[in-house]
Structure 1
Amino acid sequence: MKLIKYILKYKKTFFLLAIAILVASCVEEIPLESEGFEEAIVIEGSISNELKQHEIKLSRVYAIDSTGPSALSGADIRVIGNREFIFQESEPGVYVSRDSFAAQPGVNYQLQISANGEEYESTPMQLSGSSSIGVLQANRIDYSGENGVAITLNNQSTNESANYYRYEYVETFKFNSNYFKVNDLILVDGEPVEVPKQKEEYTCYQTNKSQEIILSNTNSLSEDSVNDLLIKFIPSDSPSLSNRYSLLVKQYVISREAYTYYEILEELSGLDNVFTQSQPGFLAGNISNINNPEEKVIGYFDISSVSTKRIYFDYEDFYDPESIRPRFVPYASCEASLPSTATLIAQLEQDIVRWSSTTPSGAFMVVPTRCVDCTRFGSNVKPEFWED
């Protein structure tokens, strides 16, 4: 995912550059062409000490004038370790191990891929020690001139080889729509009819995976510990803080070589200026074409030990419970209206309004759907892990 984001980022950059040239010329249209474009295979995946079915993704980088990454199907993928693990294609470009397995200490693992008549393999890799997440903390702070809640991590390594770390997270938060409604309006034989509400639309949950690269290393420290590492900062005006929030953090102990690879990838993905002195180039990993070492292969295959920890907190833990909570839709955009019957029918057909109240005369007051239907922004199904 990080590799695809990097490619997408530079597609946009070069597109904007081309547009700038086009506007500056004001003479003739300059078509976006891929002159000199060089294809490269993209391999995404790692193996961990988690007992599960592991996943490898294959695709190809794409030209500026194409629509997006191209999934690479029909490949033969296996990981050779203490035995052979076969991967099967579950969807275009996505390969899942046929059996569940967990990487074992002291065992070399090597990724082998056969695709489009070419043979690829990684260098043999081993687990790089282990380390558990000690404490996750949430505190209200001012960060870069903005108030919000920061989630930080501390750990203490018990293994001298556990010096390099990569982090991912999954955030899940509970939120409410702006208003609670008890009834719905539906069309029966083309006429609006008031009925009891059809589904839960007041309380919902949204889940998002991390997209950034989060790294830490203790190689230069006297103690093998990570202290006050910022994992996530949530601005105070974010709807994710409005009710109850949870963050699941995954810590990967990785090799020094993998750390260096991700560090360079992070630096390249942070280049916002196409004219920067540090121009992005090809980022080589540890996977190569056996018969054609000159072919460009993007990706890194690593073996990681994983530790996870979850934290919960409520809005009231950091903010006045009587204050106006952040919402997906501003309250100013949620005023009720009293449309004519013809207008109301058209609005219901397009699902852009919902019932608000009924006047003594029997007319229907309505509000925009997004103000009362939380499923526009999440799911009304409580996650299995959720704790209130």
Structure 2
Amino acid sequence: MQINKTYYLLFVLGFILNSCVERYFPDTETNFTSKIVIEGTITTEDEDQQIVVSMSSSVAEPEFVPVSGCEVYVEDEDGNKFTFSEGNAGYYNGRIPDSNIVIGMSYRLYVKTPDGDEYRSKYEELMPCPDVDSIYTEVTSKETTDPDVDEDGLQFYVDLKADDTYGRFYRFGLIETYEYHADFPLDKWVSVDNVYTDLVTPDYSNQVCYVTDSLASIYVLSTDGFSQNSYSGFELHFVNDHTQRLLYKYSLLLKQYSMTESAYSFWKNLKENNQESVDLFGRQPASVKGNVYNINDTTEYTLGYFGVSAVRTKRVMVYPDPSFTFSEVFHCKPVIPDPPIIDRPIYYAVGIDETTGESYTGIVGEECIFCQTTGGTTEKPSYWDE
């Protein structure tokens, strides 16, 4: 899947495995000065954690500019330090023992660059997180850029129900998984060595694939000021019927993160800068200041945020809705080229002539037979048939 490059400039923000926020590149900028970007979220999930250290890049040459060779550690309020080691350039990995991830404990980040610059975050308290209450969908239509055309699909929602022993600030990370199919099995082909093969039984092993993607949109919720720590019908993402995402089976894994009020304000401001402005370039994301600062120069403008979050998860499985037409889904159609194709390999498939209704054998692209060529994997997720 391709991600619009508009979202790649100043930030690598969010929990690294499943809640990434894509960089954002405004179309215009003047007097650009590269700034350090330090980000990461330590969670209660039993897995390696990651801190990312980089430099912002200009719109003229958008790229990830890692800062390598840093000293990185996380420190709790009792003075315990947990070292993070560099893996890929700019990515620092570490694991904090479960016994040291304690609700109510506060943590901060320390980074020292090879140039000797020292950065530290403010302390962040690990807030408790209630269980995910319920996730559900509604079949609906959304307006498009064409006033005469709407798109059908599923709108996802989540309910939050908590008591006053929990905080009032939350973020939701979404991971989608869906099944999609190539249109034809492997049957007849000519290899690169010009060897013709005709299988007795067609091979369907490359026809069904699965894709898992973290959704980059930011979803934050505050119940501060509410009489109760609850919210019904919080709107998540919308999936239309223009692709195969809803055609066979669709899974959504929701991660519910607890946050401090400071972290909520940061994510809310980031969302407004990157996603909710009518003019994406009217408000620059550089104005969203985080909680990381230069120890020896507090006037330096640094980007990024270090947070800690308790996490609760819930997965839902969605099956095709009979009201969806999937009329926009692309399907391969065998062609009979004139002149004949010279390049190898050549894959053959049987099609149906729309005029006569008769079958014929034509040539199709590799992606029409091997579903992996469009980014998926044939390995079925362990939870798919549960």
* TM norm structure 1: 0.81
| Structure 1: distance between partners of 2:137 and 2:117 | 49
Distance 1:98 1:7, change over 3 A: closer
Q: Are 2:143 and 1:135 aligned? A: no
Q: Are 2:372 and 1:375 aligned? A: yes
1:7-46 alignment to 2 at 5 Å? 8-11=23-26, 13-14=27-28, 36-46=31-41
Tell me the SS of whatever aligns to 1:14.
coil
| Structure 2: distance between partners of 1:373 and 1:143 | 33
What residue identity is the alignment partner of 2:306? F
How well do the aligned residues superpose, as a CA RMSD in angstroms?
A: 2.8
Instruction: Provide, for residues 247-287 of structure 1, a one-character-per-residue CA deviation record: whole Å limited to 9, x for no partner.
Output: 000010101111111111111113353774x5655321111
Is the 8 Å Cα contact of residues 290 and 302 (structure 2) preserved in structure 1? yes
Instruction: Provide, for residues 80-129 of structure 1, a one-character-per-residue CA deviation record: whole Å limited to 9, x for no partner.
Output: 11421110111101111155546202222111111121111111111123
**Which of 317, 339, 355 is the aligned partner of 2:348?**
355
Q: Which residue of 2 aligns with 1:73?
A: 68
* TM norm structure 2: 0.82
**Which of 304, 307, 312 is the aligned partner of 2:312?**
307
Q: Are 2:48 and 1:53 aligned? A: yes
Q: Which residue of 1 aligns with 2:173?
A: 168
What residue identity is the alignment partner of 1:63? S
Unaligned 5+ runs, structure 2: 1-7, 14-20, 144-149, 352-359
Q: Which residue of 1 aligns with 2:357?
A: none
Is the 8 Å Cα contact of residues 129 and 256 (structure 2) preserved in structure 1? no
**Which of 85, 92, 104 is the aligned partner of 2:82?**
85
**Which of 203, 212, 215 is the aligned partner of 1:207?**
212
Tell me the SS of whatever aligns to 2:310.
strand
Is the 8 Å Cα contact of residues 192 and 345 (structure 1) preserved in structure 2? no
Distance 1:38 1:324, change over 3 A: closer
Distance 1:210 1:75, change over 3 A: same
Distance 1:264 1:229, change over 3 A: same
Is the 8 Å Cα contact of residues 12 and 304 (structure 2) preserved in structure 1? no
Shift of 1:202: 1.6
Is the 8 Å Cα contact of residues 131 and 162 (structure 1) preserved in structure 2? no
What residue identity is the alignment partner of 1:369? E
| Structure 1: distance between partners of 2:91 and 2:202 | 40
Distance 1:7 1:366, change over 3 A: closer
Is the 8 Å Cα contact of residues 148 and 233 (structure 1) preserved in structure 2? yes
- Highest CA radius of gyration, 1 or 2? 1
User: Which structure carries more helix by proportion?
Assistant: 1
What residue identity is the alignment partner of 1:141? T
Unaligned 5+ runs, structure 1: 16-34
What residue identity is the alignment partner of 2:138? N
Q: Which residue of 2 aligns with 1:273?
A: 279
Distance 1:197 1:344, change over 3 A: farther
Tell me the SS of whatever aligns to 1:269.
helix
Tell me the SS of whatever aligns to 2:11.
helix
Distance 1:181 1:148, change over 3 A: same
Sequence identity, in percent?
24
What residue identity is the alignment partner of 1:137? Y
